[in-house]
A = this chain, B = another copy of it.
Amino acid sequence: MPPRSPLAPAEFPALPVIGGARFAIAEAGVRYKGRPDVMLAMLDPGSVMAGVFTRSATRSANVLDCQAKIAADSSEGAAIVVNSGNSNAFTGRAGEGSVEAICEAVAEQTGLPASRVFTSSTGVIGERLPHDRITAKLEELTGKLDGASLPDAARAIMTTDTFPKAATAQIEVDGKPVKIAGIAKGSGMIAPDMATMLVYIFTDAKIGRAELQAMVSELNAKTFNNITVDSDTSTSDTLLMAATGASGVDVAWNAEFTQALYGVMLDLAHQVVRDGEGATKFVTVHVNHAASEADARTHALSIANSPLVKTALAGEDPNWGRIVMAVGKSGAAADRDALSISFGELLVAEKGWVAESYREADGAAYFKRSEIEIIVDIGLGQGHATVWTCDLTHGYIQINADYRS
């Protein structure tokens, strides 16, 4: 096991109980022994669900099943079952069979229709999911459902994560509290043979399904879709959000709720980067004044995914020439003489060359920080984008190459 990431938050947050949502975990032994590897979340009748999923063309049977179910309006409640250790991806027709078997067993155990059971699997690709080990634990799981067990769930869904990830927020609407609590796993887009970023967020707010979905999709584009550890996209990425309505507070069109949810999602997204495989630097890349929003994102991802930029960060080498290179190769519009580059407040390059005021020693001192901001102004338009990433270190190679799966 790699040690806890040096970029991990100081402590795990105190998660509130979300009315209408209960959780349980179990040791099913899917792949790991002697640790919890399955979680069950039960959402009360009246809960609405929203989700976003990987766009991989080889996505897992679980993702395809969730996508088919997520848009249904239902007042019957819902269940979420997640296992770690095996991703059930690229397992042919057997993969669909495993998802069906789990959903039917949960339906039988809980009385929910199978169409309201959502599943995720994370771990090795291409190996048959021993789903009977999961279904064998359903009675135990439903017997110990508890609103206070969300922190346990954050641990049960870990694969090679070095710390459990959670975030929470609370707002008041007309004097009534509305709570949000979310958990995530992910350590790079993928870990040694184990895939996936998974995110589950719960609120007791009351909101329509279509509105919740629109809000989650929009906020996802500003948070989870703008993080990258190694540019490799999992076959299983899943974000599910449930609003139970237990607070009785309607949050449709409530800007404060949107902002609170954004904060929770951003916090979880950052925690995934902070647990990036081998990461020693947390890096924010801002691209401003690109010709378009799309161009800004293309430049930002080109910088964030460049192995040479990432190794320069690892080496604490303020090698801004590599940032010029990454902008140049991205395919989006750029003009050497309009470009400027800053590290935080430190202006590094402008007007097609190194800035007159820049001193290499200042750049080197800045790069010793564990949190680094790279700001690139393209100088061509109004497109802005922010992307978060980490450095590329010997630790990444060690985790992904040195140990046989």
Interface residues of A (CB under 8 A from B): 56-59, 89-95, 124-126, 189-190, 193, 195, 230-235, 305-308, 311-312, 314-317, 319-322, 324-330, 332-337, 339, 349, 351-354, 364, 391-394, 396-398, 400-405
Contact B319 A230 (CB under 8 A): no
Cβ distance A342 to chain B, nearest Cβ, rounded Å = 15
Q: Whole-angstrom distance between the alpha carbons of A328 and B236 in the complex?
A: 11
Contact A308 B126 (CB under 8 A): no
Q: Whole-angstrom distance between the alpha carbons of A330 and B320 in the complex?
A: 28
Contact A315 B402 (CB under 8 A): yes
Cβ distance A314 to chain B, nearest Cβ, rounded Å = 4
Q: Whole-angstrom distance between the alpha carbons of A311 and B189 in the complex?
A: 14
- The residue of chain B having its C-beta at the shortest distance from the C-beta of A400 within the complex is B311
Q: Whole-angstrom distance between the alpha carbons of A125 and B327 in the complex?
A: 13
- The residue of chain B having its C-beta at the shortest distance from the C-beta of A229 within the complex is B307
Report if A58-B230 is in contact (Cβ < 8 Å); known contacts: A90-B352, A405-B317.
no
Contact A312 B401 (CB under 8 A): yes
* Given contact pairs A93-B352, A232-B322, A315-B402, a sample of 8 additional A-B residue pairs in the complex whose CB atoms are under 8 Å apart: A57-B335, A126-B321, A190-B308, A232-B306, A311-B401, A312-B401, A315-B401, A392-B397
Contact B393 A397 (CB under 8 A): yes
Q: Which 5 A-B pairs have the closest CB atoms?
A: A125-B321, A58-B328, A92-B353, A315-B401, A56-B328
Contact A322 B190 (CB under 8 A): yes
Contact A320 B126 (CB under 8 A): yes
User: A232 — which chain B residues lie within 8 A by C-beta?
Assistant: 306-308, 322, 325-326, 329
Number of copies of this kind of chain in the complex: 2
Of the candidates B56, B95, B315, B325, the one whose C-beta lies within 8 Å of that of A329 is: B56
Cβ distance A382 to chain B, nearest Cβ, rounded Å = 19
Contact A336 B90 (CB under 8 A): yes
Of the candidates B90, B396, B405, the one whose C-beta lies within 8 Å of that of A307 is: B396
User: A93 — which chain B residues lie within 8 A by C-beta?
Assistant: 352
Q: List 6 A-B contacts (CB under 8 A).
A: A57-B335, A58-B327, A91-B353, A92-B351, A195-B325, A394-B401
Cβ distance A402 to chain B, nearest Cβ, rounded Å = 6
Of the candidates B92, B190, B351, B401, the one whose C-beta lies within 8 Å of that of A337 is: B92
Q: Whole-angstrom distance between the alpha carbons of A195 and B321 in the complex?
A: 10
Report if A349-B311 is in contact (Cβ < 8 Å); known contacts: A58-B328, A324-B58, A325-B190.
no
Contact A89 B321 (CB under 8 A): yes
Report if A319-B193 is in contact (Cβ < 8 Å); known contacts: A90-B353, A328-B58, A336-B90.
yes
